[in-house]
Amino acid sequence: QVQVEESGGGLVQAGGSLRLSCTASGRSSSTYIRGWFRQAPGKEREFVAAITRRGSTYYADSVRGRFTISGDNAWNTLFLQMNSLKPEDAAVYYCADAYSGGAYYSQESYSNWGQGTQVTVSS
């Protein structure tokens, strides 16, 4: 199974930007859809964004217009550009790979996850 690893998290002030990356090691991911989820302390993991191999994108209402998901041409690296960050965006962000069908916004539809990268937003 392809291993995926997130990077790019950190501490940023409200209104700032971060760019997260998710790299598939060994070989490019073969999944049709890849996504980003996040989990804040004491909360359930929630959908953030997803992208199909053809470039169709989907966003949670809470991030639409501020976040942009993209992938490189080789479908090896997944990105999440996060602008106008808010304190409520603070969470551990996870890359979701190995889509197996079902709703793209459901974590049960993915079977391969990275370890996560922490995003902290100061007010």
* 5: β partners: 23
* 74: β partners: none
| Residue with tokens 């998290």, as numbered in its chain | 9
> Which range, of 18-22, 26-30, 81-85, 118-122, averages the lowest pLDDT?
26-30
- 2 and 114 Cβ atoms separated by less than 8 Å: no
Please report which confidence band the pLDDT of residue 18 belongs to, taking 50, 70 and 90 as the band edges.
Answer: very high
pLDDT of residue 17: 98
Distance between CA 108 and CA 37 in Å, rounded?
Answer: 12
What three-state secondary structure class fits 72? coil
> Which range, of 58-62, 63-67, 72-76, 104-108, averages the lowest pLDDT?
72-76
